[in-house]
Amino acid sequence: MKKYELALVLSPNLEEEALAAEKESVKALIERFGGTVNNVDDWGKRRLAYEIQKVNEGFYSFIDFSAEPTAPAEIESRMRIKENVLRYLIVAQEEA
């Protein structure tokens, strides 16, 4: 299993319950493809560097997880169709 980090920017228009539900659905997606979530680092609402879909802010979350090398491609294909996800990026972490 390799270690990965998922950087996630969610829509600023989400209510607190909807935001928590969206994060849980992302965690469930990771676990669905055999991954285990190690850590979730929420940064809260931040200003974006540039406008995305006429939005200037977003909720930032960083999720550390372990998964098989085939899992990130599957996760990305599902993240692409989520309405409330403005941007996402999965990066492989260096082995220490």
Domain boundaries defined on the chain: 2-92
The model's pTM: 0.89
Which tokens belong to 96?
A: 């220490």
Q: CB–CB of 47/61 below 8 Å? A: no
The model's pLDDT over 11-57, given as tens digits with 9 standing for 90+, comes to 999 999 999 999 999 999 999 999 999 999 999 999 999 998 899 99
Q: Which one is the CATH code of 2-92: 3.30.300.30, 3.30.70.60, 3.40.50.150, 3.40.720.10?
A: 3.30.70.60
Question: Does position 96 have pLDDT exceeding 80, yes or no?
Answer: no
Q: CB–CB of 48/58 below 8 Å? A: yes
